[in-house]
Structure 1
Amino acid sequence: MRSIICVHERFDAVWPFAADHWQKRWQSDCCELYRTAEPGARAPHLVPDPAAVQRLVLLGLPAASEDLAPFTSLEECFHSTHTDLPADGLDQAASRGIHIIPHRVDIYWGQSVAEYGLCLTLCGLRRIPQSHTAIIGSLEPWKHGPEVGKPGAQGVQYCDDSRFANGTLGGKRVRVVGAGNIGARYASWCTAMGADVAIWDPFAPDATFAAAGAKRRFHLPELVKDAEIFAPMLPLKEDTYGLVGKDLIDALPHGCLVVQVTRALICDTEALYRRVLNDELALAADVFDIEPVALDSPLLGRHNVVHTPHNAGRTRDANLAWVDDQIARFKPR
C-alpha cells in the first residue's frame, strides 16, 4: 500500500495544519508528503513512480486527466482546491473504477464557529471587550459605585448596559435561525446554560430540536417577536440571501442582541445596521456585509457592538477535523 499527499502552498494558506496532520494520521502506512510552491506544479512531476500509488490526496493542485492518468494503480483519490484549477480528470478516474472521495462542506468548522458564537453572545451581554479596552487608558471603569445610588442605575460591579440584553445567558429568550451543524450546537449550549431556546428550520428533523432542548417555531415572525438574543446561523445560499428581511429585523424587540457568525447577508444588513446605530439593537458580529469593514465605519468602536474580523471558523482544531472527516471516508486498511 502506497499513500501519497501532494500539497501546494496555496492550499496551506487556507488550511495550514491540514496536510501535515494527514500525513501523521497515515504514518503507519508509510505515507509520503510532497509540498511545492511552484505555480505550475503537477502531481506526476512531484511523485516518483506514480504507477505504484494506491491512495492519492491532491491539495491545491490540478486534477486534470493528465494529472491522474499516470497513477495506473490508483484505488482512491481525494481532491480539494480553493482556486479554478482543472478537475475534469476526476470523472474519468471514476469511470476507471477509482473511488473519488467527495468533499463535504461545512462539517469541520461547526464546533469552532458555534463556540465563537457563544463567546460573542457572552461578550455582547456583558460588554467584555469594551471593559477590556476601557481600563487600558483610564481608571474610571474601576469606579463602579456612584456617590448616590439610583434605582435601576449603575451600582457596585454593575456595568452592564440596561438598554440592551445584558447579564446572564441563563433565563434569556434565545431565538436561532437554522438547526444545522452550527445552529444546533449553539442552541444546545444556550439550553445547557439555562436559556429559553427556540429554533426555526423547516428542514431539520424533530430529533434535532429535541437534542438541542429547543422549541420548534414554524414561522419566522413568531420566532423574532420575543427574542432577547437573535442568532441567524445559516450558510449564505441563493435561498438564504436576505431571508431575514427588513420586516423581521424591524420586528425584533428593542434591546435585542443580534449574533452573526455565519454570513451577514442572511439578514437585511441595511435595516440591521440602521437599528444598531440608532441604539435600538446590540450587535455581536464576526461577519459583515462588506469585508473588511472600513476603518471609518460607524459600527466600529460602538458601545453596543462587539466586532471581530471573520475568523470564527479557522482554528487548528477545524483544520484537524477537516482532515479527519476526509480520512474517515477512505476504505479501512
Structure 2
Amino acid sequence: MIPVLALIPLPPETGDALRGRARILRPDEPEAGSAEAVITDGARGLSAAEIADLPRLSHVASASAGMEGIDREALARRSIVLSNVGPALAEEVADHAMMLLLAAWKGLLAGHEHVRSGAWSREGPAPLGRALAGRTLGILGLGGIGTAIARRAEPFGLRVLYHSRVPRPVRWGHVADPVQLARASDILAVAVPGGEATRGLVSDAVIDALGPGGVLVNVARGSVVDEPALIEALAAGRLGAAGLDVFASEPDPDPRLVGLPNVVLSPHAGSATQETRVAMARMVAENILAHAEGRPLPGAI
C-alpha cells in the first residue's frame, strides 16, 4: 500500500477511494517520514524543510486548486510530481465568476436595495444601467478556470481577451501585459494562481487602466490584488465596481472594503457546492493512485 502523509483532514470520499490501496499517515506518527505521497492544500502548504524530511517523497497532491503554500522550487529540485484538483472545480468557479460579473456590472445590489428600502415606490425607477453585450472581458490567467470563464462569456456577447505568461492556442486575443489588458477591457476577471509570483499583480496601475467605468472580478486569491489600492480606487470612483470572492484577510476582510456600496462580496465560495467538493475529494485520491500506478494524473501540474 502507498504510504500517504495527510497534512489536512481528508473528506470521506478521499478516504473511501484510497481504502485498501494506501496507508494514511498523520504528521505525529513515527512512520510519517516514510511517506511517498503527501496530501495538503494551498493554505497548509508544504515547506522546503518538510520536503527535506521526506526522503521517499515522489508526489504532492494539493486538495485545492491553490498551491501558494507549497514550495514548488524544492519539489522541482528533486523532480517530485505536483498535482491539484483544478479540473474538478474549474466549471463551478467559472459559474461563480459569471455571477459576480453580472451582479457587479448590472448593479444588482443597488437594485436590490432600491426595492427593499421602498425607494422604488417613493422615488420611482432606479437609474438606467449599461448593456453587457459588446463589452470586452479581459481574463488574467487562462488556465482551466480562465478558459471556462471565457467560454461562458461569449454567449453574453462579450469579446474576450486574455493575458498569460505564454500565449495559448485559443481563439481569444492574447495581450502581453496586465496593464494593457486592463486598458483594453471593460471587465477584468482574475483567475491566476496565488503565491509570491503573482502577489500584487493587479496593481494600482492595472486598476487605474481599468478605469472608472470598469469592473474587477476576483476568483483567484486575495494576494493577487493590491487591496489597499483597490479600496482607494473604489471609494474615489476611479474604479466602477468589483465582484470579489477572495480577500487579503479571510475570513475578516478589511472593513473599508466591506462598507463600500459598489462591491459584491462572496465568502471564498467559488467551489462551494456539494457536487464539486465531492469531485475534488475524489480527484485527490485519483491523483495519488494514478501516480503510483504510472498513469496520467487528471490534475497534473
TM-score, with length taken from structure 1? 0.65
**Of 78, 84, 106, which aligns to 1:105?**
84
- Structure 1 unaligned residues grouped into runs of 5+: 13-17, 33-52, 70-75, 95-99, 146-154
**What SS does the corresponding residue of 1:258 show, helix, strand or coil?**
strand
**What SS does the corresponding residue of 1:182 show, helix, strand or coil?**
helix
User: Displacement of 1:102 after TM fit?
Assistant: 4.3
User: Displacement of 1:251 after TM fit?
Assistant: 1.9
Tell me if the contact between 2:38 and 2:57 (Cα under 8 Å) persists in the aligned partners.
no
- Amino acid aligned to 2:96: Y
- CA distance in 2 between counterparts of 1:250 and 1:84 reads 33
Tell me if the contact between 2:84 and 2:284 (Cα under 8 Å) persists in the aligned partners.
no
Residue 50 of structure 1 is matched in structure 2 by none
User: Displacement of 1:84 after TM fit?
Assistant: 8.1
- CA distance in 2 between counterparts of 1:93 and 1:218 reads 37
- Amino acid aligned to 1:173: T
User: Displacement of 1:62 after TM fit?
Assistant: 2.8
Tell me if the contact between 1:64 and 1:90 (Cα under 8 Å) persists in the aligned partners.
no
Residue 132 of structure 1 is matched in structure 2 by 112
Residue 31 of structure 2 is matched in structure 1 by 66
Matches within 5 A, 1:103-252: 103=62, 104-107=83-86, 108-136=88-116, 138-141=117-120, 145=124, 159-160=127-128, 162=129, 166-168=130-132, 170-206=133-169, 209-210=170-171, 214-252=172-210
User: Displacement of 1:302 after TM fit?
Assistant: 3.1
Tell me if the contact between 1:173 and 1:196 (Cα under 8 Å) persists in the aligned partners.
yes
Matched, 1:56 2:22: yes
Task: Give the superposed CA RMSD.
Answer: 3.6
- CA distance in 2 between counterparts of 1:187 and 1:251 reads 21
Tell me if the contact between 1:200 and 1:216 (Cα under 8 Å) persists in the aligned partners.
yes
CA 259–84 in structure 1, closer or farther in 2 if over 3 Å, else same = closer
Whichever structure has more helix as a proportion of its residues is 2
Instruction: Answer 1 or 2: higher relative contact order, Cα 8 Å, separation at least 6.
Output: 2
Please list the CA deviations of residues 221-270 of structure 1 after superposition, one character each: whole Å capped at 9, or x if unmatched: 32111321111221122221122322222222321011111123323222
Aligned residues: 264
CA 193–287 in structure 1, closer or farther in 2 if over 3 Å, else same = same
Please list the CA deviations of residues 5-48 of structure 1 after superposition, one character each: whole Å capped at 9, or x if unmatched: 9989x615xxxxx324652xx5xxxx75xxxxxxxxxxxxxxxx
- CA distance in 2 between counterparts of 1:279 and 1:84 reads 37
- Percent of residue pairs bearing the same amino acid type: 22
- Amino acid aligned to 2:56: Q
Matched, 1:19 2:12: yes
- CA distance in 2 between counterparts of 1:328 and 1:84 reads 20
Matched, 1:290 2:283: no
Tell me if the contact between 1:236 and 1:265 (Cα under 8 Å) persists in the aligned partners.
yes
